[in-house]
Structure 1
Amino acid sequence: DRHIAMLRLAKIRAESGEGWGFIKNLSSTGMMLEVHPSFELGENISAELTEDQILSGVVRWRENALVGIEFSKPIDVSKILAKPHETVSGRIARLPRIEVSHPINLYQGSELIHGDICDISPAGICVQTDSTFALGKNLRLSVPELLNINGVVRWQSGNRVGIAFSQRLPLDDLMVWLSTFYRAAKIDAVELAELNQEDNMSRARDLAAESLPFHVIGHDDLGKEILIDKMDTATQALIQFKATSKFFYRVSIRNADNVELSIGTIVLRAFDEERLAAKP
C-alpha cells in the first residue's frame, strides 16, 4: 500500500489526554505520527484533522517521537488530502482546539486578572474569567511553562473570552507543554485527592521551595543524566525546562536532596512566585 508523505497538523486524543501531533505519512490502512516523546499513548488513539475529519486506529509501534498507527478500517485518502470544506453550519471546518483546565494570569495594563484556560490552539485561546473586556483589547497572558504571550480579545460570551494570539505559538513549545501538563495531572491525581484541607494545600505549594536550588536534569534515551542548570526559583526552573525539553528524551526537575518534583508542584509554586511579585 503506497504511503503519501505529508506534514499535517492534527489533534491527537489518547487515554492520557489530548495533544498536538504531525501526520508524517498516510495510506488507506495507516499513518505515521510525530508526537512529543513524553506524550503517553494508549493502544487506541484518534487523530482529528478538522472538526469533522477524525482518523481512529491502533498503535502498532513507537520509536521515541514517531508512532505507527493502523486504522480500524480503510479510509479514502483523496478526501483527507482535499481542501477544507464547509460544515453543516456553512463555515469552513477549522482545526480542533485542545481542551485544557489550567490556571492562567491575564494582564490588562498593570491589572492582574486570574482565569482558567478552557481550550487552546497555536492561534488562540479561550479563557474563563469573571472580568469583562472590550473587543479589540490588548492583553498579556502568563502561563509559567509557556512564558508570556500577547493577544487580542476577539469575543466574549458570559464568563468565557476568546483571545487571538498576536503571534502563533511555536508548535514544539505547545506540544511540550501539553505533554508535561497531562503527565503532571496523572502524577498529581492521587496527591490532590488527599490534599483537600487548606493547610495541606499550602504544604503542597511549599514542597517545591524546600531544599533549594532546583536542579534541571536532562535524560537521554539510554538513561544517562546530564545536569543542565541550577535555578533559585520555580519560575526559572520551568523556563529552563521548556527551553531544553526538545533536546532530550526527558527532562526532570529535582530539589537539592535529589528528589524529583512533579511539574504540577513546580507550576503551583511558580504561580505563587508571580503573585507575590505582583503585590505592591
Structure 2
Amino acid sequence: MLAGEQVVETSYSFSTQAPGPPERRTQERHVKILRVGVFVVEGRRELCLIRNISAGGLMAHVYSPVKVGQQVIVELKTHERIPARIAWVRDSNAGVAFDAPVDIEALLANPVTLDNGWRARSPRIEVDRAATIRVDGVPSLARIRDISQSGAKIETAATLVIDGDVVITPEGFRPIGAVARWQEGDRAGIVFNEVIRLNELIAWIKSA
C-alpha cells in the first residue's frame, strides 16, 4: 500500500499519449490491485506500481529517484522490454513516454497473475461514454468514466441503493444487469451480473 493513501487499481487507455500527473484528491479511494512493473534505470532494476497505462506511456509510483528526460526500459511482462523516457516527475510519481506505442489489446488479453496464483482484478479502461441507468425501472442519464469486463465507475444524479439491482445501457451497447456497490456524491461503482467478453468490450470502446 502506498504511504498516506489507499491503493487504486491500474487503469488502461488506448490513447497514444503518455498519462499526465495525478489529480489532487481529498476523497478516500477504494482499495484495488495495482499492476507491478519494472524500471531498468542505468542498469538497475527497480520495481514500480503502475497507476495508469496507455498505448503511448504510463504513470507509475516509483521508489528510487528518476529525472525528466532520463532513458529507461519498462518491463510490463516477462521478457518484454519497452524503451522509454521519463516525461515528468511529481512527488513519488513519474510519467513515462514509450519510444513507440504498445499494444493495449495484448496487455488486456493477458491480465497479470499474482505471486499466490490468484488473477488480479479485470483491467479497468478509462472511457467517457453516455449511458442510461435504471433504478427500480426508472431511467436516469449517466456517464461511464471507466469500465472493465466485470463492472464500471459512473457519474449519475440518480440515487443508488447499495447492493441494489440496476440496469445500465451504455450508448451503442446492450443493457447489462448490475449491482450498485458504492456511491459518493454523483459517482458510483457498479458490478455487472455477467463478465463481458473482452473482444465485445474492446469493440464497443473503439466504436466511439
Structure with the bigger percentage of strand: 2
Bigger CA radius of gyration: 1
Structure with the bigger percentage of helix: 1
